[in-house]
Chain A
Amino acid sequence: MTIHLESVNVRLGDVDVLREVSMELDVRTVAVIGENGSGKSTFARLLGGLVKRTSGSVSVLGVDPDRQAAELRRRVAVVFSNPDAQIIMPTVAEDVAFSLRSEKLARAERDDRVEAALARFGLSELATRSSHDLSGGQKQLLALCGAFVRRPELVIADEPTAYLDARNARRVADHLFEETGHRLVLVTHDLALAARCDAAVLFAAGRFTSVGDPASVIAEYEALLRC
């Protein structure tokens, strides 16, 4: 089972952000949709081990994010909407290499993996460029490259196309959906993107309201928006 949640509650400050969420997901790609403040991002952060649950149990790829954080980091990558906050190192190639620091690889192997990842994301020519001087689209591709270079089993992407124009959004989405053996949890407001997933999950006011075929979940969400 990829994701298993049982009666999960998350309270941040005085607010119950997630309430009694239970679900089982075992698909390659799943979209998480819902209005702003519905708990989607908290759900993504919970799966990525970036937010601790208040109660309940969580299992991601058979790993408990709270108790086996190091194991989770090794197998799961998270991509956020704001690319600026994901850049750590001053040049493009160094930023990608940063993701491999914890793997203690030999320099030659590390360089090979960085080179291959840069080529895959079309960033080879920008390898020595200052990462902070890239365009928004290039920065998000760099963030994806930094995530994928670790060969994660699961990628959690929280509105990764939110700041991008149509062309860059499509490029980022194509990379996310590319079949490279990873699974994908995609938090998005873009319903066309959600429709490309194998399943969709709908959140409303901190509660998980439905899961299933993207077309029916999107229809349910649209009906909710008309109310």
Chain B
Amino acid sequence: MLTLYRPGTGWLHRMPAGPKTVMLLALTLGVFLLPPVWWSAGVAAAASVVAYAAAQLHDGALGMRDLGRQLFALRWILLVMLVSQLLFLGPEPAVANATRVTSGLLLAALLTLTTPTTALLEAVERGLGPLRYVRIDPQRIALLLTITLGTVPVLARIATDVRAAQKARGARANLRTFVVPFLVISLKHADELGEALASRGVR
């Protein structure tokens, strides 16, 4: 998610990270709070289209190429959400809910598309500044968020390596034989990451 940032010169790119976060958060919240009825689906979808079109993403298709990419990345979440709610809630709430959630995620993705992580972290740190009064270090929280998100591709690679090693030794897919090496390697990675953080001045 964090690696989605693409450099640009549009007004959304130039907007300071703090106000941009608040603006997109308010927009996302507005979409989430819509009632689960047909017209909400239309409003939520329109909000995403208008936001991407207005964001000056310069993708050669008035933001629609980027919107399509994000939508494609969300296809499985969308499908699971739609099918499960169709079964239990019926068509109207299912379509409205799925559209609202998808729209919310698309709007959130606009933030990561147009904001470098460093700027985002600095905004998070500034936003959480008052927590210093209750002895919580905002810098540490921002770092925690970065590491959590940055570790996702690493864990995915470890999982792929473990599966490949199992296949190379002729083993069939088995949860137990996968989990043990995966955990051991992941914990080793956590140790090494801790040392790397310490050596780069993080206490």
User: Does A150 lie at the interface of the complex (its beta carbon under 8 Å from any beta carbon of B)?
Assistant: yes
User: Does B166 lie at the interface of the complex (its beta carbon under 8 Å from any beta carbon of A)?
Assistant: no
What mask results when residues 77 to 92 of chain A are scored 1 for a CB within 8 Å of chain B, else 0? 1101010111111110
Cα distance, A19 to B27, chains bound together (Å): 62
Interface residues of A in 89-138 (CB under 8 A from B): 89-91, 94, 97-99, 101-103, 128, 130, 132-133
User: Does A48 lie at the interface of the complex (its beta carbon under 8 Å from any beta carbon of B)?
Assistant: yes
* Contact (Cβ within 8 A) A88 B203: no
The residue that B192 contacts in the complex, of A80, A89, A133, with Cβ under 8 A, is A80
User: Does B117 lie at the interface of the complex (its beta carbon under 8 Å from any beta carbon of A)?
Assistant: yes
Interface residues of B in 8-49 (CB under 8 A from A): none
Cα distance, A82 to B2, chains bound together (Å): 22
What mask results when residues 116 to 155 of chain B are scored 1 for a CB within 8 Å of chain A, else 0? 1110000000000000000000010000001101100110
* Chain B hits for A128, CB < 8 A: 5, 7
* Contact (Cβ within 8 A) A80 B196: yes
Min CB distance B13 to A, Å, is 13
* Contact (Cβ within 8 A) B2 A86: no
Interface of B, secondary structure class, is helix
The residue that A91 contacts in the complex, of B5, B154, B200, B203, with Cβ under 8 A, is B5
The residue that A69 contacts in the complex, of B3, B118, B157, B203, with Cβ under 8 A, is B203
* Chain A hits for B157, CB < 8 A: 84, 132
- Select from chain B the residue with minimum beta-carbon distance to A48: B199
Interface residues of B in 146-199 (CB under 8 A from A): 146-147, 149-150, 153-154, 157, 189, 192-193, 195-199
* Chain A hits for B198, CB < 8 A: 49-50, 73
User: Does B73 lie at the interface of the complex (its beta carbon under 8 Å from any beta carbon of A)?
Assistant: no
The residue that A78 contacts in the complex, of B139, B146, B147, B199, with Cβ under 8 A, is B199
Which bucket holds chain A's interface residue count? Answer: 35 or more
Cα distance, A88 to B116, chains bound together (Å): 14
* Contact (Cβ within 8 A) B116 A85: no
Min CB distance A24 to B, Å, is 24
Asked, given contacts A102-B202, A146-B200, whether A84 binds B118 with beta carbons under 8 Å apart, the answer is no
Which residue numbers of B lie inside 8 Å of A, CB to CB? Answer: 2-3, 5, 7, 116-118, 139, 146-147, 149-150, 153-154, 157, 189, 192-193, 195-203
Which residue numbers of A lie inside 8 Å of B, CB to CB? Answer: 45, 48-50, 69-70, 73-74, 76-78, 80, 82, 84-91, 94, 97-99, 101-103, 128, 130, 132-133, 146-147, 150
Can you show 22 pairs from A to B with CB atoms below 8 A apart? A69-B203, A70-B203, A73-B200, A73-B201, A73-B203, A78-B196, A78-B199, A85-B192, A85-B193, A85-B195, A87-B150, A88-B193, A89-B117, A89-B118, A89-B146, A90-B2, A90-B3, A97-B118, A128-B5, A132-B3, A147-B200, A150-B201
